[in-house]
């Protein structure tokens, strides 16, 4: 198996291929692969997905992947590492929060990550703009390319966020998508996530709120909120040096015992054990 490395905060490459190297590979970075044109199959973590024009794939450092090309394919590769995000943190702290969505998606299902229909032409336009900037190399092109890359990562984060509930589809109603976004924005404010607050925010009666959410997402509202918090805990354990009591305070658990019990149900072990195992 081949291990790929990245030597810059981000790299962009466009390639037209009629065959893909057969060696399976893993990366030490994140990689977005957009299909400009062509057809074939993506193999990722022993799963197969038939690709076509307009598909966008996310590969994380944990993924084993390869492609099988059916018709000549033009690939757009955007590779970036955590340093790229950290380097932009002082200018755009929200970018770090968006990156959490990508980190949480480490064990995602294979396939195109664009679940929000309106984002598909937007991604195509942004990628075309990057290619044009790289070709023309006019003044400030590097700054513009960096901003376009930030925008693409933001859109990817949005689509991963929408993908989390198992029943979310491209035609899922706009109200529940807004509800998911509201929950993610207010996850640190428990009072904002009570049924009364959600009912008022989205003009849905309390008696119907729970049934509506489950019919749209396939899980209960409380389960989604609890699991979303657990994913945030997992991200902090894996990708930060926050102490357990700091995570408790940030995510409003009653105390460390409350967090330990909740996380043990989620991962089968205490947070400290989980961090030690993955350190």
The domain that contains 35 carries what CATH number?
2.60.120.280
pLDDT digits (tens, 9 = 90+) for 170-192: 445 567 778 887 887 788 899 99
- Across residues 103-123, what is the average pLDDT? 72
Query: How confident is the model at residue 269, as a pLDDT?
Result: 93
- Cα–Cα distance list, 150 to 91, 96, 184 (Å): 12, 11, 20
User: Do 111 and 221 sit in the same domain of this protein?
Assistant: no
152 and 182 share one domain: no
Angle 70-75-76 (CA atoms, 0-180°, nearest 5)? Answer: 165
Q: Are both 126 and 237 inside the same structural domain?
A: no
Q: What is the pLDDT of residues 62-97, one digit of tens each?
A: 677 889 999 999 999 999 876 666 665 555 555 555
State the pTM of this model: 0.59
Instruction: Give the number of domains in the chain.
Output: 2
> Which of 163, 193, 210 is a domain's end point?
163
11-39 mean pLDDT: 85
pLDDT for residue 45 is more than 80:
no
Do 157 and 193 fall into the same domain?
A: no
Instruction: Assess if residue 271 is contained within a domain.
Output: yes
Average pLDDT over residues 109-129: 86
The predicted structure's pLDDT at residue 168: 58
**CB 187, CB 228: distance < 8 Å:** yes
Q: Are 68 and 34 spatial neighbours (Cβ–Cβ below 8 Å)?
A: no
pLDDT (0 to 100) of residue 184:
79
Supply the mean pLDDT for the chain.
82
**pLDDT value for 208:** 94
214 three-state secondary structure: helix
Shared domain for 44 and 137, answered yes or no, is yes
Whole-number percent of the chain with pLDDT over 90: 44
Q: Which residue has the higher pLDDT, 116 or 136?
A: 136
Buried b (16+ CB within 10 A) or exposed e, 21-47: eeeeeebebbbbbbbbebebebbbeee
- Residue 146's domain comprises 2-163
């Amino acid at each position: 198996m081949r291990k790929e490395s990245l030597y810059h905060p981000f790299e962009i490459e466009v390639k037209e291929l009629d065959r893909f190297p057969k060696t399976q590979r893993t990366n030490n970075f994140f990689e977005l692969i957009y299909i400009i044109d062509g057809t074939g199959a993506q193999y990722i973590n022993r799963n197969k997905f038939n690709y076509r024009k307009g598909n966008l794939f996310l590969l994380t450092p944990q993924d084993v992947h390869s492609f099988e090309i059916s018709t000549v394919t033009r690939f757009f590769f955007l590779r970036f590492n955590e340093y790229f995000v950290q380097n932009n943190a002082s200018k755009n702290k929200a970018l770090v929060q968006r990156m959490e969505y990508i980190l949480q998606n480490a064990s995602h299902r294979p396939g195109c990550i664009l679940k929000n229909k309106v984002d598909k032409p937007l991604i195509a336009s942004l990628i075309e703009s990057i290619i044009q900037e790289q070709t023309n190399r006019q003044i400030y092109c590097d700054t513009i390319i960096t901003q376009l890359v930030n925008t693409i990562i933001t859109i990817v984060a949005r689509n991963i966020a929408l993908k989390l509930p198992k029943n979310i589809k491209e035609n899922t109603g706009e109200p529940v998508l807004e509800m998911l976004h509201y929950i993610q924005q207010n996850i640190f404010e428990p009072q904002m996530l009570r049924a009364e607050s959600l009912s008022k925010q989205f003009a849905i009666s309390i008696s119907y709120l729970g049934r509506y959410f489950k019919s749209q997402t396939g899980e209960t509202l409380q389960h989604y909120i609890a699991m979303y918090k657990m994913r945030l805990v997992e991200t902090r354990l894996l990708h930060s040096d926050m102490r357990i009591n700091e995570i408790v305070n940030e995510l409003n658990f009653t105390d460390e015992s409350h967090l330990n019990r909740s996380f043990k149900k989620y991962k089968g072990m205490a947070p400290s054990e989980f961090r030690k195992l993955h350190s």
